[in-house]
Amino acid sequence: MPENDFYTTVASVDYALVFIGQARQTEKPWYLYVAFNAPHAPLQPMESDYKKYLGKYDVGWDTIRETRLGKQRDLGLFEKNLTPSPRPDHVPSWSSLPKERQAWESRRMSALAGMIDRVDQELGRLFADLEHSGEMDNTVILFVSDNGACPYDRRSNNMDGNPYDRDTTWGDSTDWSWARNSPFRYYKQNQFEGGKKTNIKIVPSEKLFEVESLGDQVVRVSGQMGGVYGPGVV
């Protein structure tokens, strides 16, 4: 591993592009599985990605959750009369927190958001390669998570520092995980929907599918099925 300028999310796509290049030489259909470790803890975003989100979560998890619930209704993801799960007793209201805790939690969520942003950027780089090669309209892409948001607030060090520093490791936030799982109850390692229910995004091949819609079908995923199915493979 290089001492400098190495980031796992970027490296995953670097190698993915190499593998696709090798597969193209066979002139056969291919399957690519890209397993990002982000945004798994420790929360260690790239500096530019982290700074992009600083201050965006100062309003706290109560307001962020209400905003997300409203957007979910507007998008038609859930019925208009859906009653969201209540805030658990162990999750304090944002307004009850001291200013120092609010500042820390806001920065911690900014770190996680930066990591997710980097996943988006790297997927965009992968998709751009498919577009450039003329394969995008003949490729099926599945994007799936393995569980709900992680609540494990394990030990964090250098909490007053920057999460992109090499000696910094920040853990997940139990309270933010509740907001991230809107509108479901609880989070990872719980048998409520917040723990076991995740979405799957399917980007269909234009040559194979013509449907663009939201669905509420329940699908059981055995192991990890997310990936990129190359030309002509469903």
What residue ranges do the domains of the chain occupy? 8-229
pTM, entire model: 0.87
Determine the Cα–Cα distance for residues 181 and 193; give it in Å rounded to an integer.
9
Asked if omega into 45 is within 30° of 0 (cis), the reply is: no
pLDDT in 10s for each residue of the chain, 234 residues: 677 789 999 999 999 999 999 999 998 889 999 989 999 899 999 999 999 999 999 999 999 999 999 998 888 888 878 888 888 899 999 999 999 999 999 999 999 999 999 999 999 999 999 999 998 888 888 888 877 777 878 889 999 999 999 889 999 998 999 998 888 877 777 766 666 677 767 776 555 555 566 666 666 666 555 455 555 332
Q: Would the CA dihedral through 111, 166, 51, 59 be positive or negative?
A: positive
Q: Please determine, looking at this structure, whether the domain spanning 8-229 carries the CATH number 3.40.720.10.
A: yes
217 Rama sector, left if φ>0, alpha if ψ -120 to 50, beta otherwise: beta
Torsion of CA 206, 209, 213, 215, to 10 degrees: -140
Distances from the Cα of 117 to the Cαs of 2, 114, 178, in angstroms? 23, 5, 20
* Residues 225 and 202: beta-carbon distance below 8 Å: no
Matching residue, tokens 């998008």? 75
